[in-house]
Amino acid sequence: MLAASLMLTAACPADAGSLLKPRDSAPAILPVNDAFQLQPVLWRDGKLDISLDIAPGCYLYRDKIQVEVLEPTGLKLGRVALPPGELHQDEHFGVVRVFRQQLAVQHRVDHPPQRLRIRYQGCAEGLVCYPPQVREVTVESLR
């Protein structure tokens, strides 16, 4: 019954949200880890899969994305080819390329890296920008 009650409570988040919206109904600004969710990094069959889910209304700058190997030292990734992204006219920075919704990268590398450092940076359209993010992740190797 307790579980059922909890399910009932969780089943109407939209109603709860309407009650609990800020009074000025300003658009909600997400914490950075909700705006950009780095998914587990996988290596499988000689390919590295890196994926970032991007919340609606948010975007990542293409030229701010960097991937480097932490371990094993000496392993070179080479140039990680990113998708082209889409053009974005920025009032201050001109035309830039950005990613929306999802960034999915598949990069061929024969030997699996163990740890990576991934950098990215982005904004919530017309609201805020998030500082450059640095994540150090362990690669899940699926042989």
Partner 1 sequence: MSSSKKQILAVAALCFAAAGVGFGAYRYLAQPHSIDEPGGMAPEITLNDLTGTPRQLSEWRGKLILVNFWATWCAPCLHEIPMLMDMQQQYGGRGLQVVGAAMDEVEAVRIGAPRLGIQYPVLVGDSEIINAMQALGDQLGALPYSVLINANGMIVSRKHGEFERDELIQLIEQNLPTTGG
- Give Dmax (Cα) for the chain: 57
Cβ within 8 Å of residue 94, ≥6 positions away: none
Cβ distance to partner 1 smaller for residue 65 or 69? 65
Distance of alpha carbon 58 from the chain centroid: 10
Distance CA 6, CA 13 (A): 12
Residue 71 is a binding residue for partner 1 (CB under 8 A):
no
| Owner of token pair 């990268």 | 105
Which one of 40, 111, 119, 128 is in contact with partner 1 (CB under 8 A)? Answer: 128
The neighbour count for residue 93, using CB atoms within 10 Å, is 10
Which parts of 14-43 interact with partner 1 (CB under 8 A)? 16-17, 20-22, 24, 26, 28-32
Q: What's the min distance (Å) between Cβ of 100 and partner 1?
A: 16
Distance CA 79, CA 83 (A): 13
CB-CB contact of 127 with 29 (8 Å)? yes
Cβ distance to partner 1 smaller for residue 35 or 67? 35
CB-CB contact of 39 with 54 (8 Å)? no
Binding mask 84-123 for partner 1 (x = CB under 8 A): ------xxxx---------------------------x-x
Q: What's the min distance (Å) between Cβ of 62 and partner 1?
A: 14
Cβ distance to partner 1 smaller for residue 46 or 132? 132
Under the rule (CB under 8 A), what is the footprint of partner 1?
Answer: 1-2, 5-6, 8-10, 13, 16-17, 20-22, 24, 26, 28-32, 90-93, 121, 123-124, 126-132
